[in-house]
C-alpha cells in the first residue's frame, strides 16, 4: 500500500551506492511460483514485463501514458530482466561480488515483505531492514515506504519510548544525622512470608536503617 505522498513525489534515481547489499540474512523462504502469481496480478509489473520480454524500451510519449508505478519501474530498464517468468532487477553485491536478482515486488505484497523481514530481524532499524529486503526484492520508492511502515510499527515505537533519555540521577546532599530519612517498602516476593512488605527507613547521613514489618 503506497501513501499518496510517495506516489505523487517523483522517485529519485537510485545511485549505485544506495543499492549495496549485505551478505547477512536470506533465511526467509520465498517460493518462486508464489511471486510469479503475485506479479501476474499486478498490472504495472505486467506492463513492464511485456516490454522487457520484447526488449523494447518504450519512447517517452508512450511511457507518459503508463501508470506512475510502471514509469518508475522502467527507470530501472538496464537492470530489468525476466528470470523463470518473474520480473527481476539485477544488482551487484560489492561485498560478495555476486550478482543478485531482486524480485520486482507487487504493490499488494510490499507490506507483507516488509513485515516478514522486519519481524525476522527482531524489529531492526530502517537501514538493516532495507538491506535485508534488498537481498531479495525491489520496488520503486521502497526506501520511503519502508521508513513510513517503520514509523507506524507499534513494537518499534514502544522500543523507542523505552530508550528515551531520562533525567540523570543526582546524589542527595545531607550534612547531619536525621536531616533526610529515606522510606521504602521491601518485598522478597515469597508467598510464605508472614510479612510480605517491610517498611525500611534509612537515615541518609549515617546510613542507619530500621526495618518495620507491616
The nearest distance, CB 143 to Zn ion, in angstroms, is 16
Which of 66, 153, 198, 199 is close enough to bind Zn ion by CB under 5 A?
Answer: 153
Taking CB under 5 A as the rule, does residue 201 contact Zn ion? no
Taking CB under 5 A as the rule, does residue 123 contact Zn ion? yes
Contact 49, 40 (CB under 8 A): no
The nearest distance, CB 155 to Zn ion, in angstroms, is 4
* C-alpha cell recorded at residue 1: 500500500
The nearest distance, CB 150 to Zn ion, in angstroms, is 6
Taking CB under 5 A as the binding criterion, the range among 42-50, 102-110, 123-131, 196-204 that sits at the site for Zn ion is: 123-131
- Return d(Cα 26, Cα 24) in angstroms, integer: 7
The nearest distance, CB 109 to Zn ion, in angstroms, is 19
Taking CB under 5 A as the rule, does residue 156 contact Zn ion? yes
Contact 46, 40 (CB under 8 A): yes
Give the residue with the Cβ less far from Zn ion, 101 or 123: 123
Give the residue with the Cβ less far from Zn ion, 35 or 114: 114
Give the residue with the Cβ less far from Zn ion, 154 or 172: 154
On the 0-12 / 13-18 / 19+ scale of CB atoms within 10 A, 213 is exposed
- Helical H segments across 22-141, by residue range: 32-40, 43-54, 60-63, 68-74, 107-120, 126-134
Taking CB under 5 A as the rule, does residue 63 contact Zn ion? no
Taking CB under 5 A as the rule, does residue 158 contact Zn ion? no
Contact 39, 86 (CB under 8 A): yes
The nearest distance, CB 119 to Zn ion, in angstroms, is 8
Task: Give bridge partners of residue 209 from the DSSP assignment.
Answer: 202
Of residues 144, 134, 132, 51, the one with CA closest to residue 92: 134
Site for Zn ion, rule CB under 5 A: 123, 153, 155-156
Amino acid at each position: 500500500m503506497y501513501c499518496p505522498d510517495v506516489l505523487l513525489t517523483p522517485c529519485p534515481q537510485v545511485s549505485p551506492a544506495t543499492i549495496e547489499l549485505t551478505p547477512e540474512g536470506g533465511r526467509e523462504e520465498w517460493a518462486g511460483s508464489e511471486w510469479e502469481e503475485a506479479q501476474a496480478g499486478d498490472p504495472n509489473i505486467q506492463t513492464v514485463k511485456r516490454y522487457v520480454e520484447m526488449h523494447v524500451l518504450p519512447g517517452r510519449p508512450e511511457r507518459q501514458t503508463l501508470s506512475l508505478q510502471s514509469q518508475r519501474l522502467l527507470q530501472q530498464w538496464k537492470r530489468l530482466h525476466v528470470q523463470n517468468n518473474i520480473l527481476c532487477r539485477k544488482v551487484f553485491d560489492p561485498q560478495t561480488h555476486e550478482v543478485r536478482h531482486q524480485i520486482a515486488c507487487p504493490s499488494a505484497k510490499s507490506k507483507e515483505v516488509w513485515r516478514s523481514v522486519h519481524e525476522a530481524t527482531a524489529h531492526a532499524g530502517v537501514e538493516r531492514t532495507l538491506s535485508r529486503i534488498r537481498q531479495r526484492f525491489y520496488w520503486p520508492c521502497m526506501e520511503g515506504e519502508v521508513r513510513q511502515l517503520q514509523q507506524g510499527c507499534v513494537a518499534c515505537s514502544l522500543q523507542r519510548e523505552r530508550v528515551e533519555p531520562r533525567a540523570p540521577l543526582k546524589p542527595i546532599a545531607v550534612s547531619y544525622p536525621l536531616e533526610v530519612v529515606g522510606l521504602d517498602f521491601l518485598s522478597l516476593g515469597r508467598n510464605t512470608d508472614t510479612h510480605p512488605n517491610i517498611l525500611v527507613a534509612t537515615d541518609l547521613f549515617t546510613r542507619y536503617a530500621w526495618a518495620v514489618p507491616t
